[in-house]
Amino acid sequence: MDPNNPPWWTSAVVYQVYPRSFQDSDGDGVGDLGGILQRLDHLSDLGVDVLWLSPVYPSPQADNGYDISDYQGIDPLFGTLDQLDELIAALHSRGMRLVMDLVVNHTSDEHPWFLESRASKTSGKRDWYWWRPPRGGFGSGHPGAEPTNWQSIFSGPAWELDAASGEYYLHLFAAKQPDLNWENPEVRQAVYAMMRWWLDRGVDGFRMDVINMISKDVAADGHLHDGPPIPGTGLGDGSASYICGPRIHEFLQEMHRDVFAGRDAALLTVGEMPGVTVEQAQLFTDPARGEVDMVFQFEHVGLDQGTSKWDVRPLRLVDLKASFGRWQAGLAEVGWNSLYWDNHDQPRAVSRFGDDSPRYRRDSATCLATLLHLHRGTPYVYQGEEIGMANYPFASVDDFRDVESINHFAAAMVAGQDPATVLAAMRRMSRDNARTPVQWDATEHAGFTSGTPWLPVNPDHDEWNAAAQRHDGSSVLAHYRRLIALRHENPVVALGAFAMLLPHHDHVYAFTRALGGQTLLVVCNVSSTPYALSDLLPQAVGAPLVLGNLPDPGQTLRPWEARVLHAS
Ligand code: TEU
């Protein structure tokens, strides 16, 4: 990274909109493009540079739009292509960019490509997906006849039987999300053509869904390999066969050449990559290799988990420091980080890593924000995070809408698990926590819709909403605004070298950022225990404050206090 000529996205902040839950404009209870157009002042006011829009394409909505049946249209649920064009123009006129979600590991089973593929074994598109006969010695449909033992990421086997042909197709996610076969060059060319079409239309880049899963480890004879057994499921973990598979770098380089190379527009590409290591991320984001600008890694959002995301453990701050510290160091010379706590798949950070009790909700939300935004990398803010939205008090299993949660509960019941225990874990980890409507004001349904919201609004919206925070300088919203402005104004925040301090302290997260002659010292108390600064970091005592989350900073680092200081 040349500090004299850094790419524009090194000082940018991205805001993610999950359209279904952002703002409804037509009273059907589902957010839409018209709603986003109404709320652009909120984004301008926050100061973000980029809007990443989760899928709005035609879709049966089995996974809320991550199951696409037409890559080049807009689902009437969300609006029209004209409105998308209007959104591009409106964002550009405000100096913001639009990044679309690109979901090309799989399509919907209702996509015309899959319908044609499924139609017969001799279909010209049969090979566009992963079709396999039953395992040798098994009749199709019999237990254990699946071609591999892989467990789907959304529970159950990753293979679905097509009764008409007696063959199975692969779906790493839901059965309605068949995986595309990227080994087939026609598939790749069709995807690249679609991407060029969107760029020509004016979009400014892509967030690429599970893009490190597109290359599967397939033997020359077409055989896919079983994975190690997952206890208690009868299934196996196939991830070694599809996480960063053998051709992943080749495919991304080809995509880069065929789609992005030679365009002079200021674009952004970010690859969502579950299971990616820092060593692989270096390769993916090395500009000289021409793959992607940055990746979403998952290490830090796995630190509070045991055997699966439903096996919830307390986060140990020292583990977070070790992980973030390694990523900061690993991408210091080559490549680039993305920074996030929240997105549409993660429970709300203030409930998960902070303290959402009335006493500390505001302070812990602003502390976590400061910690993250002062790292080196491009920060992503997920809708509602900037007003401190918290997890939803789900009462029963019937309250959940997400296919991952619903499938998990069903599988856990078949496996004989205790319903109350399963529900408790879902309450903490379900993706639906992120998907309740944005809380705009204190009115019924929080100003999200005039109809009945598809997922209920959090009852805490009477107190926690954007309108209440907009003109309050001490609000979470005001603090996000300041953090974003600081990144824009101060090159140290964007580009400064990162050094971790106090790696073994259980509660205080501290680091420096240095560039040229300037050094910032960041100190965050990630707990409700106060600490005397003179014991911890004497150099922080009396250091000039650049930005803090509590008034009147003194000698004691108070519960959830965060300070950005000028270090001498
Ligand atoms: O998610 C990928 C993914 O592996 C996880 O985030 C997963 O959704 C789950 O939370 C793990 O427990 C992406 C999208 O962000 C997600 O919304 C989609 O459901 C998924 O891909 C399939 O397209």
For 432-469, how does the pLDDT look when each residue is reduced to its tens digit (9 = 90+)? 999 999 999 999 999 999 999 999 999 999 999 999 99
pLDDT at res. 264: 83
Whose CA is closest to atom 14 on ligand 1? 209
Structure confidence at residue 232 as a pLDDT band (50, 70, 90): confident
For 180-222, how does the pLDDT look when each residue is reduced to its tens digit (9 = 90+)? 999 999 999 999 999 999 999 999 999 999 999 999 999 999 9
Which residue pairs from 217-226 have beta carbons closer than 8 angstroms and sit at least 24 positions apart in sequence? 217/241, 217/242, 217/245, 217/246, 218/183, 222/132, 224/130, 224/132, 224/147, 224/148, 224/170, 225/148, 226/148, 226/149, 226/150
Evaluate if residue 171 carries a pLDDT over 80: yes
pLDDT at res. 265: 87
- 358 contacts: CB under 8 Å, gap ≥ 6: none
Determine what percent of the chain is predicted with pLDDT higher than 70: 100
- Global pTM? 0.98
Check if the beta carbon of residue 279 is closer than 8 Å to that of residue 265: no
pLDDT at res. 94: 98
User: Which CA distances in Å does 76 have to 60, 66, 99, 460?
Assistant: 11, 16, 20, 31
Evaluate if residue 3 carries a pLDDT over 80: no
Q: How many residues does the chain have?
A: 568
209 given a catalytic annotation? yes
Catalytic-labelled residue, pool 24, 49, 63, 209: 209
Structure confidence at residue 568 as a pLDDT band (50, 70, 90): confident
For 68-116, how does the pLDDT look when each residue is reduced to its tens digit (9 = 90+)? 999 999 999 999 999 999 999 999 999 999 999 999 999 999 999 999 9
Measure CA of the first residue to CA of the last residue in the chain; give whole Å: 26
Whose CA is closest to atom 12 on ligand 1? 309
Average pLDDT over residues 315-340: 98
Catalytic-labelled residue, pool 272, 291, 355, 356: 272
For 399-439, how does the pLDDT look when each residue is reduced to its tens digit (9 = 90+)? 999 999 999 999 999 999 999 999 999 999 999 999 999 99
Average pLDDT over residues 158-166: 97
What does residue 244 show for φ and ψ, rounded to 5 degrees? 50, 55
Give dist(CA 174, CA 410) in Å, integer.
14
For 57-69, how does the pLDDT look when each residue is reduced to its tens digit (9 = 90+)? 999 999 999 999 9
Average pLDDT over residues 141-168: 97
Determine what percent of the chain is predicted with pLDDT higher than 90: 98
Which residue do the tokens 């101060």 mark?
Answer: 490
Check if the beta carbon of residue 510 is closer than 8 Å to that of residue 535: no
DSSP string, 481-531: HHHHHHHHH-HHHHHPEEEEE-TT-SSEEEEEEEETTEEEEEEEE-SSS-E
Question: From the CA of 63, how far away is ligand 1's center (Å)?
Answer: 9
Candidates 355, 342, 374; CA nearest to 490 is 374
pLDDT at res. 2: 76
Question: From the CA of 401, how far away is ligand 1's center (Å)?
Answer: 15
Ligand 1 residue neighbourhood (C-beta within 6 Å): 63, 66, 103, 153, 173, 209-210, 272, 274, 309, 344-345, 404, 431
The per-residue pLDDT of the chain, averaged, comes to: 97
Check if the beta carbon of residue 276 is closer than 8 Å to that of residue 307: no
Average pLDDT over residues 136-151: 95
Give dist(CA 78, CA 75) in Å, integer.
5
Evaluate if residue 330 carries a pLDDT over 80: yes
Candidates 126, 129, 132, 164; CA nearest to 146 is 132
Check if the beta carbon of residue 97 is closer than 8 Å to that of residue 50: yes
